[in-house]
Amino acid sequence: MTARITNYQCPNCTGPLHFGSGSGQLECDHCTSKFDISVIELLYADKEMAAASVKTEPQWNLSVAGEEWSTEETAHLRAYSCPSCAAEVICDETTVATSCPYCGNPTIVPGKIAGLLKPDYVIPFKLDKNAAIEALKKYYGKKRFLPKLFADNNHIDEIKGVYVPFWLFDGKADATMRFRATKIITHTSGNYRITHTDHYRVSREGTVAFEKVPVDGSSKMPDAHMDAIEPFDYKELKPFSSAYLPGYLADKYDEDADMCSKRANSRITASTESAFATTTIGYASITREFSSINLKKGDVKYALMPVWLLSTKWNDSCFLFAMNGQTGKLIGDLPIDKSRYWSWFLRIAVPIAAVLALLLFM
């Protein structure tokens, strides 16, 4: 039989711990910390539990995400691919795609739909193109050094409505967390100011349920952009119908649910830790000591979310504007016209320099 040997490490400095016969505690030779045996055993029990949960971690149920398109549906749809950035979009047969919504390349090659699941849900566009244009003009108007190309009306009219593919993850998170906390009391005694610090070990355990955690399935859409225009109102989710497509494009996912599951795990873990941390109120300081989160993974669904997009190239760089087609929340990458910047700077700096010079010589 093989015996398992555990090398205990100091929670403060990770140095090796040994049993001190004089103190009856586990002692660290590096930072001289001392710990009760029960505390270290509990800490390592948590770690072993976390390691065991990783080994038996279940997988997301991907079998319910999307379904196959019918022959009748595909007969009325078109697929376009961009030779520049490899983006693929679909639309109804009446929609004319003149340029790529992600890189602005005007060359779009028509083809047939292949290797694409039919979405389970869709959130229809609530804000029309005029609302998107007005929001973009307002956004541009606040940028003093924006190149003239970006403010040009003909350019702004190129904004496109795109249904962006999302995978929606349902699940639960069983969590155990430990924190080190302090409470500080300060008072005066005679000529002295006395500070008294109490140290606490705070424990939290519980289960957090998650529903429809979104992860976009398009590598062409920057995750930071999608995070910035979230959330979407899921109350307006509709069973998918191709009747929502006329006049819009729908991006074809190039990252399947399995590829996106890692980001879903990360988002759920971060949200769980944040939710537990918010319960540790009333302390002067709080430091996370241990975290074990076991995900109970459920079903995954496939949905299309409405986004207004405008892509522009400037000095060989691509800039992308995105607006939530349901709520109007927006984000945009914008360049700076250096000639306009220096022109503005000189108009301000020269008069100020002249006044300062006059004052110095008076």
How many angstroms separate the CA atoms of 211 and 301, rounded? 11
How many angstroms separate the CA atoms of 3 and 144, rounded? 71
Q: What is the predicted pLDDT for the residue at 45?
A: 65
- What tokens does 124 get? 């229809």
Q: Are strands 238-239 and 121-122 parallel, antiparallel or unpaired?
A: antiparallel
Q: Is residue 43 in a domain?
A: no
pLDDT band for position 98 (50/70/90)? Answer: low
Query: pTM (2 decimals)?
Result: 0.72
Q: Is residue 165 in a domain?
A: yes
Q: Is residue 54 in a domain?
A: no
Phi-psi region at 347: left, alpha or beta (left = phi > 0; alpha = psi -120 to 50) = alpha
Q: Is residue 281 in a domain?
A: yes
The total of structural domains in the chain comes to 1
CB atoms within 10 A of CB 160: 21
Is residue 357 scored above 50 in pLDDT? Answer: yes
The better pLDDT of the pair 149, 132 is held by 132
pLDDT in tens, 226-247: 889 999 999 999 998 888 888 8
- What tokens does 248 get? 């819009």
How many angstroms separate the CA atoms of 192 and 189, rounded? 5
Q: Is residue 318 in a domain?
A: yes
> In 3D, which of 229, 232, 223, 211 has the Cα closest to residue 300?
211
The pLDDT of 296-318, averaged and rounded, is: 84
Q: Is residue 36 in a domain?
A: no
Q: Are strands 88-92 and 77-81 parallel, antiparallel or unpaired?
A: antiparallel
pLDDT in tens, 146-187: 666 665 655 677 788 999 999 999 999 999 999 989 999 888
How many angstroms separate the CA atoms of 100 and 128, rounded? 19
Instruction: Tell me the average pLDDT of the chain.
Output: 78
pLDDT in tens, 44-54: 666 555 555 55
The pLDDT of 101-118, averaged and rounded, is: 67
Q: Which domain holds residue 184?
A: 59-362
List all residues 6 or more positions away from 124 whose beta carbon is below 8 Å from its beta carbon.
Answer: 236, 238, 244, 306
Q: Is residue 143 in a domain?
A: yes
Q: Is residue 75 in a domain?
A: yes
Is residue 113 scored above 70 in pLDDT? Answer: no
Counting DSSP H helices and E strands in the chain, the numbers are 8, 16
Helix runs in the chain, H state only? 37-55, 71-74, 129-141, 148-151, 153-156, 223-229, 257-277, 338-361
- What tokens does 188 get? 């005066």
Burial tier of 181 (Cβ tally within 10 Å: 0-12, 13-18, 19+): middle
